[in-house]
Structure 1
Amino acid sequence: MKYNKSFIYVITLVATLGGLLFGYDTAVISGAEKSIQSFLIEPLGLTSFLHGITVSSALIGCIIGGALSGLVSSRFGRKKALIIAGILFLLSALGSGNPEFLFFEKGVPSLELLWMFNFYRIIGGVGVGLASAVCPMYIGEVAPAEIRGKLVSLNQFAIIFGMLVVYFVNWGIADGQTIEWINEVGWRRMFISEAIPASIFAILMFFMPETPRYLALQHKDDKALAILSKINGLEKAKEILNDIKSTVESSKANIFSYGKIVIIVGVLLSVFQQFVGINVALYYAPRIFESMGAAKDASMLQTIIMGLVNVIFTVVAIMTVDKWGRKPLLITGSIGMAIGMIAISTLAFFDVIGIATLVFIIIYTASFMMSWGPICWVLISEIYPNKIRSQAIAIAVAAQWAANFFISSTYPPMMEFSSGGTYLFYGIMSIISAIFVWKMVPETKGKTLEEMENIWKK
């Protein structure tokens, strides 16, 4: 089938800048957290609990942004929702880097200033929550069925790439500088650096089209047809628009119009993506490697190796998702993650530390990145019928951020109780995730978004 590839790829590339900012915003704290501890936490004699909340406060915003994404994207449209996300990223970057702005004396720590910093981080989190839901939705609603999996997977690549970029930006800012300078100036520049990609994203989104599915929902058929024609050609565009209109007019937008199973499948996809323990591996990687006996410099190097593995295996998913299908990739990934985590658990129980542990962590993360990392977002963007998509994605994404917060915050106490038991839990979750996909998740490869409606009607 012929379609306007250059037009589709330009739209996708701009939309995935939202994914890049998602990765950038969640990872920028990694370079700045020790400086924030010495500037705001220690001088005020605050607890490590408050330090932990400050480091993860953006996740609270992520849950809020994910939950609001359905309301924002259905009321203002997918395009305007992404512009709002871009503006929130920009405000968060400038505010987090200069939390004293207007109200406080520069460089003087206080409890009020700490809350102000957290407020700006939460604003960025709301942007992340919005972008994490609306970017895959926007791409999914524009992309032709034959290449939709590949294009939505590019969003996951952008998230991982954004994390990698900010690791290098943080390293570049701190390289060759004294600890005093980093604690006074450097951490501020790390946050403010995000203003550049945030501005570019918000400006470019102004020039992007609204999605034809959203326009059809608003009964703007002429505009929807114009965009579909530009992507698919006039004849195919008329056919797609008729399909969209039949689904738009067929029922009222009750969230349970198509039964509860479709909502449950989306929520469980989101929850399993977190319960397999991936964010523990990403957030705590240097700490995990140090606990295995690696020196501090070596642990940072091993983290970069993991980052490169993440990028390579996300590319594997992009290249294969539309050929092999969603289910085979997810089940293969679950098996690989189970092997990796159960092996790490066994090594931990026997107190064996060494290169084998690093190998199994790489097997685990590679398995995740070629499967659950990108494919979960692909499925969430395509399994829901047009009428309930924005509301249903909002529920799934809010569940995902809540699961992320739960798994990330329970990791330290679980490790204190039993490191082997902790990794065994993630391994068992990987096995259950494979059974869940095999039994409950429909294959969506090559199907139009309108054809998905018939699967749930059955």
Structure 2
Amino acid sequence: MNYTEKGSKLYLFSIVLVAVIGGLLFGYDTAVISGAEKGLQAFFMGADFEYTDAIHGITSSSALIGCIIGSAVSGFFASGLGRKNSLFLAGILFFLSALGSYYPEFLFFEHGVPSYSLLVAFNFYRVLGGIGVGLASAICPMYIAEIAPSNIRGTLVSWNQFAIIFGQLVVYFVNFLILGSHANPVIDLVNGVNQIMNPEAAAWTTETGWRLMFVSEAVPAGLFALLVLLVPETPRYLAMCGKDERALNVLSRINGASQAKVILAEIKATTEEKTERLFTYGWMVIFIGIMLSVFQQAVGINAVLYFAPRIFETMGMANPMVQTVLMGVVNILFTLLAVFTVEKWGRKPLLISGSVGMAIGAFGVAMCNVVTGLPAIISVISIMVYSASFMFSWGPICWVLIAEIFPNTIRGAAVAIAVAFQWIFNFIVSSTFLPMYNMRLGEMGDKFGHMFAYALYGIICVAAALFVWKLVPETKGKTLEDMTKLWKKKK
């Protein structure tokens, strides 16, 4: 292969393809709970303690605790082990979590007998997978951004978000196939206590179905761990470690020999002071990175993605898994819109227009719970508008900006902090959604909770648009080294 003059696009794309499998696993792991959570709830309702909505909300979201831990330590691992080895570690954690969530009784407990101790063990395995997600969520876009040429960096990092959404679609479909003709348990509040309606019909899902959904992740997780061993370390990390010859080799294969020397010189110029403190470039760059993460989660998208079948069921849909898969397809299509327009339209216009679209969708769902007699399809369309608007904006573009805006010398630590905030707010939103969604008030009953949740998310969407308009810089067409100069000027 002759890459001395122009570099090899095939080589670049093959590396990025491996990295985005980490994104696929991120999506797979976080959305697998959407199909499994009702069977899981029914399983633990047979335990020797009261398995409340609050406990179920925490159990459904427990992987997010691991995500917070994984993202918080991602800077340490990215700087200490390197980007590549950190991704390999994430793959191993995904694999172990899939097996452990399938069989949490391993070694210590009797199979199929729910107990408080078994619940703790199950949550431990979910947290383990969450640590893998936290590592992958921070390091996959960082890896791609550090290896990609500046003119297509936004597009390539956006493919990571495409992989996340594709992973969610895959697991929606896998869950749909696993469930097959079996019934999901119907759980209702009877005299203040959750009870399973028609437990015989839901027996297979309660005993086996949720386990198969979790273990299905072991296949892509194992593949990812093996393939990561074949990709190179990023040239920016190699240069920061003084391995200039290896960095030049990777850059040459991607950009061509002459361009590689220019890029390496720029990298070296911004990595000489590799021990710079986090606030060397002022507090604003860190604040913007954190708030991008906070808004990406506070708009409430993951509450919809994690509990999609349950939401569609409350809207009166006969087979909510069908609408869930359909939503996954819509999400894929609108993520592709971002992939193909991020370098043309820029980051800010996509974020602002997406925020407006999400607000319209969220307020639409809220309205359907206030105005009686509206057909259920309006709620479904509003949810689709809300979700699709996120997918071409905050979904991919937030990750692009987090990978781009920080100067080289603080990127590992700054990305870790920003992504940790993302998972903290993901956990807050996901664990509070069900209690908030099920709130009852007077004659409105639980429709009050449905209305309140989406009205709140709609207001946050409006605030997100204003934040981007006023404070976020446009990074389209700029090199990672340009960001160092930008923040030095603004300091």
Please tell me whether residue 237 in structure 1 is matched to residue 268 in structure 2: no
Match of 1:57 in 2: 62
1:311-365 superposed Cα distances (whole Å, 9 cap, x missing partner): 0000000000011111111111112112222233333332353222222222221
Q: Could you state the TM-score of these two structures normalised by the residue count of structure 2?
A: 0.89
Return the match for 2:401 from 372, 376, 379: 379
- 1:197-208 alignment, distance < 5 Å: 197-208=220-231
Match of 1:457 in 2: 488
Please tell me whether residue 315 in structure 1 is matched to residue 346 in structure 2: no
Q: CA RMSD in A?
A: 1.8
Query: Offset of 1:93 from its aligned partner?
Result: 0.8
- 1:67-78 alignment, distance < 5 Å: 67-78=72-83
- 1:305-344 alignment, distance < 5 Å: 305-344=326-365
- 1:435-454 alignment, distance < 5 Å: 435-454=466-485
Match of 2:39 in 1: 35
Q: Secondary structure at the match of 1:213?
A: helix
Please tell me whether residue 301 in structure 1 is matched to residue 305 in structure 2: no
Query: Offset of 1:2 from its aligned partner?
Result: 4.4
Match of 1:14 in 2: 18
Q: Secondary structure at the match of 2:476?
A: coil
Letter in 1 for 2:327: M
Larger mean Cα displacement after TM superposition, 429-438 or 185-194: 185-194
Match of 1:359 in 2: 381
Letter in 1 for 2:352: I
Q: Number of aligned pairs? A: 456
Q: Secondary structure at the match of 1:236?
A: helix
Letter in 1 for 2:220: P
Distance 1:187 1:368 in 2: 28
Letter in 1 for 2:18: V
Which structure has the highest helix share of the two? Answer: 1
Q: Secondary structure at the match of 1:145?
A: coil
Match of 2:196 in 1: none
Larger mean Cα displacement after TM superposition, 97-106 or 39-48: 39-48
Contact 2:7 2:252 (8 Å CA) reproduced: no
Contact 2:46 2:114 (8 Å CA) reproduced: no
Distance 1:10 1:133 in 2: 20
Query: Offset of 1:40 from its aligned partner?
Result: 3.1
Match of 2:187 in 1: none
Contact 1:26 1:58 (8 Å CA) reproduced: yes
Return the match for 1:369 from 380, 391, 394: 391
Seen in structure 2, the aligned counterparts of structure 1 residues 163 and 104 have a Cα distance that, compared at 3 Å, is same
Return the match for 1:227 from 226, 234, 250: 250
Q: Could you state the TM-score of these two structures normalised by the residue count of structure 1?
A: 0.95
Seen in structure 2, the aligned counterparts of structure 1 residues 7 and 105 have a Cα distance that, compared at 3 Å, is same
Match of 2:134 in 1: 129
Larger mean Cα displacement after TM superposition, 430-439 or 409-418: 409-418
Match of 1:389 in 2: 411
Match of 1:424 in 2: 455
Query: Offset of 1:98 from its aligned partner?
Result: 1.3
Counting aligned pairs with the same residue, the percent is 59
Letter in 1 for 2:216: S
Query: Offset of 1:239 from its aligned partner?
Result: 0.5
Query: Offset of 1:439 from its aligned partner?
Result: 1.2
Letter in 2 for 1:20: L
Please tell me whether residue 252 in structure 1 is matched to residue 256 in structure 2: no
1:26-59 superposed Cα distances (whole Å, 9 cap, x missing partner): 1222222233233333232322132222221111
Q: Unaligned stretches of 5+ in structure 1?
A: none
Please tell me whether residue 90 in structure 1 is matched to residue 95 in structure 2: yes
Match of 1:433 in 2: 464
Please tell me whether residue 286 in structure 1 is matched to residue 309 in structure 2: yes
Query: Offset of 1:293 from its aligned partner?
Result: 3.1
Distance 1:34 1:52 in 2: 11
Larger mean Cα displacement after TM superposition, 51-60 or 222-231: 51-60
Distance 1:236 1:88 in 2: 38
Seen in structure 2, the aligned counterparts of structure 1 residues 37 and 377 have a Cα distance that, compared at 3 Å, is same
Distance 2:161 2:374 in 1: 32
Match of 1:170 in 2: 175
Letter in 1 for 2:380: L
Distance 2:208 2:367 in 1: 44
Q: Unaligned stretches of 5+ in structure 2?
A: 183-200, 441-447
Please tell me whether residue 120 in structure 1 is matched to residue 120 in structure 2: no
Larger mean Cα displacement after TM superposition, 283-292 or 430-439: 283-292
1:350-381 superposed Cα distances (whole Å, 9 cap, x missing partner): 23532222222222211111111100001001
Distance 2:346 2:291 in 1: 19
